[in-house]
Amino acid sequence: MAVTLEDLKAHIRDLGDEDDAILTRKLAVATDMIKQKVGGFDKFDGSVPAPIEEAILMYAAHLYQHREATIFGGQVFMLPLGVEDLISTYRDGWTY
């Protein structure tokens, strides 16, 4: 996994253990979703770029803190702002 549970807990400033199962699940989902969006991590030769790791952290934190879609300014956002920007240069043939 490109990002660990400890990385995510530091990102959201969570030092406790009571939500570890939830955070682990959110991290797995975020990792899988970002992996699908960029066409897999194997193309990075064992070292996932920092923007991809940051996108995973942002997405997992978003899933943890906002259990449903986010509404901002009357628009519904499924991903937190910035995730698409972080992964856009790594996407394989995806268009917006």
Please list the rounded mean pLDDT of every run of 10 residues in the chain (96 residues): 90 87 94 90 87 92 78 66 75 56
- What is the per-residue pLDDT for 70? 63
- What is the per-residue pLDDT for 9? 95
> Closest Cα to residue 60, out of 41, 85, 35?
35
Rounded CA separation 14/87 (Å): 25
- What is the per-residue pLDDT for 96? 43
- What is the per-residue pLDDT for 71? 66
Query: H or E stretch including 71?
Result: strand 70-72
The answer to whether 24 and 17 are in contact (CB under 8 A) is: no
